Structure 1
Amino acid sequence: MQSSASLTISDLWIERGERDLCKGLSFSVQSGDVVRILGENGAGKSSLLKVIAGVLSPLEGQILYSGEDVTLDRNPLQQDAIYLGHSIGVKSLLTVAENLRWYCPDVSTSMLYSVLTQLGLIDQVDVPVKKLSAGQARRVALARLWLNKKTLWLLDEPFASLDVRGVALLEERIQQHVLLGGLVILTTHQDLLSIALRDVALLL
């Protein structure tokens, strides 16, 4: 993780179909920030995260990561970022352990088992994801936030399908991440009482 990082969005213009989702959007995120993207359904919150992650391209605007222009080449940002979208992004036929070793091949067995214990998944370590509940499968996906060392987290509705304990665990993990200098940009309909958020609204 970088000791100090920043993300600056300048005059971003995102279009879907023939409809503008945002135009002239500018904001910045520094190490230690948790930024929540606000907007009505269909306003472009998910599209904005995908643009930052490099999954989509904006019509106009500039994206700087730690002072480097990554607008045309998002690779430097992608090397230091993790993006978790609406889809849990795990392989249903693989077991919990196999999924996490696929995404985090260098993780030690002791670390893997420690994280699965924290998330209440240790008894499912050898169970195929297709046999898990929606909440358990979501926690498998989120386990990557415990195992990776990326600085920038882009999280689209990360609390979906989580029970009260799962929400509390994720809130605590986000707090730990930003205390260590991480950056988090997220969308959520969940009321977060223990995290200091800075809101960015998507308004045309």
Structure 2
Amino acid sequence: MTATSTVAPILLEARALTFYRQDEPVFGPLDFSLRAGEVALVEGDNGSGKTTLLRMLAGLLHIEEGELQWRGRPWRRDEHLGDTLFLGHHLGLKSDLSARENLNVAVGLYGNRCGRGVDDVLRDIGLAGYEDEPVRRLSAGQKKRAALARLLLLPATLWLLDEPYANLDRTGIDLVNRLLTEHSSSGGAALVTSHGAVSFLHGEPKRVRMHA
């Protein structure tokens, strides 16, 4: 009997996706697809629209031209809020709340992964002992870890990570790579921007090249 390989299904597909600012194209037309288990590195010069693309996929910007599909159906922001998780330059943390309180708010909105709780995620992410410290008192690296904790906790399939390695030491960078490896190994997918060297534990990522 001959073994047959199974091709992972396409989760996200963009066709002729274009974004304009003041009638000038920021990027596009852009075509790419992302399958379950894939991590893609979004490449391009400064100002090429890498962050804009992730914000569009997160539902923070309107799709002006082109087509975006999720699991073979047209992308509709309100239907897929829980399917995507965006981590940008602004970490989305309320500074007067603790890391635990911020995560509890996120769980209230989107639910949590089976078997994962707030306290064990904070321990895994390296914030044991800082769970109840107001975010404003944390260091830049600790704030980044508090934001990264959402990746472990929330059940999103598609991660949109804009410069996830910023403000992290070598241990933190290794942590991000481990999270990406575990996520892709379990059938998730991710789009990542990074100005620094990226070393994914499971091999070279797919490339999405931005162009105007």
User: TM-score under structure 1 normalisation?
Assistant: 0.91
> Alignment partner for residue 74 of structure 1, among 74, 77, 83?
77
The answer on whether the counterparts of 1:4 and 1:181 sit within 8 Å (CA) in structure 2 is: no
Residue 37 of structure 1 corresponds to 42
Give the superposition deviation at 1:104: 1.5
Amino acid of the residue matched to residue 91 of structure 1?
A: K
CA separation in 2, counterparts of 1:142 and 1:125?
A: 14
The answer on whether the counterparts of 2:82 and 2:155 sit within 8 Å (CA) in structure 1 is: no
Alpha-carbon RMSD across the aligned residues, in angstroms, is 1.9
CA separation in 1, counterparts of 2:17 and 2:50?
A: 13
Unaligned stretches of 5+ residues in structure 2: 1-7
Q: Is 2:164 the counterpart of 1:161?
A: no
Give the superposition deviation at 1:110: 7.5
Residue 197 of structure 2 corresponds to 191
Give the superposition deviation at 1:170: 1.1
The answer on whether the counterparts of 1:88 and 1:141 sit within 8 Å (CA) in structure 2 is: yes
TM alignment of 1:1-204, pairs within 5 A:
6-70=11-75, 73-105=76-108, 111-195=117-201, 196-204=204-212
Amino acid of the residue matched to residue 95 of structure 1?
A: S
CA separation in 2, counterparts of 1:4 and 1:123?
A: 41
Number of corresponding residues: 200
The answer on whether the counterparts of 2:15 and 2:29 sit within 8 Å (CA) in structure 1 is: yes
CA separation in 1, counterparts of 2:183 and 2:134?
A: 29
Give the superposition deviation at 1:5: 5.3
Change (3 A) 1:81 1:5: farther
The answer on whether the counterparts of 2:93 and 2:102 sit within 8 Å (CA) in structure 1 is: yes
The answer on whether the counterparts of 2:14 and 2:69 sit within 8 Å (CA) in structure 1 is: yes
% of aligned pairs identical? 35
Give the superposition deviation at 1:149: 1.3
**How far does the alpha carbon of each residue in 1:7-61 deviate from its partner, in whole angstroms, 9 at most, with x for none?**
0000011112332111211000000110111111111001011111111113210
Change (3 A) 1:65 1:98: same
Q: Structure 1 residues 74-83 or 174-183, which shifts more?
A: 74-83
The answer on whether the counterparts of 1:15 and 1:58 sit within 8 Å (CA) in structure 2 is: no
The answer on whether the counterparts of 1:34 and 1:184 sit within 8 Å (CA) in structure 2 is: yes
Give the superposition deviation at 1:111: 2.6
Q: Secondary structure at the match of 1:153?
A: strand
User: TM-score under structure 2 normalisation?
Assistant: 0.88
Amino acid of the residue matched to residue 50 of structure 2?
A: K
Give the superposition deviation at 1:103: 0.8
Give the superposition deviation at 1:200: 1.0
Give the superposition deviation at 1:187: 0.7
CA separation in 1, counterparts of 2:155 and 2:116?
A: 17
Amino acid of the residue matched to residue 202 of structure 1?
A: M
Give the superposition deviation at 1:160: 1.0
